[in-house]
Amino acid sequence: MKPTIFGCALAALLAFSASSAQASCASLWRERNQIYKDAGYCFKTPRAIRAFGNAGCTYDDMRDVPLSANQRSIVDDIVVAERRMGCRE
């Protein structure tokens, strides 16, 4: 059976949506962790250490990082968005 134009378009759309979600997940991950980096968090995962490094970090426990109420709200919103999108760490 030959693929239809609709079938090809649907496959392209699904591939685009998946890659778009991956890009959005990466962007959210970077934004969330940049907030922690700016506040002095010492990253533990190889991915985060590669992306942000640990130079000048002071807080080993994420709960100890002094974030403002606004920063905490932003981080919470990002986490909710990541969950909705099915992002994985």
56, part of any domain: yes
- What total number of domains does the chain contain? 1
23-62 per-position pLDDT tens digit? 699 999 999 999 999 999 999 999 999 999 999 999 999 9
Assess if residue 37 is contained within a domain.
Answer: yes
Q: Is residue 17 in a domain? A: no
Residue 1 belongs to some domain of the structure: no
Cα-based distances in Å from 88 to 25, 29, 53: 8, 9, 21
Residue 3: inside a domain: no
- Give pTM, 2 decimals: 0.74
Q: Which percentage of the chain shows pLDDT scores above 70?
A: 73
Q: Is residue 20 part of a domain?
A: no
- Which H or E element spans position 71? helix 69-85
Please tell me whether residue 4 adopts helix, strand or coil conformation. coil
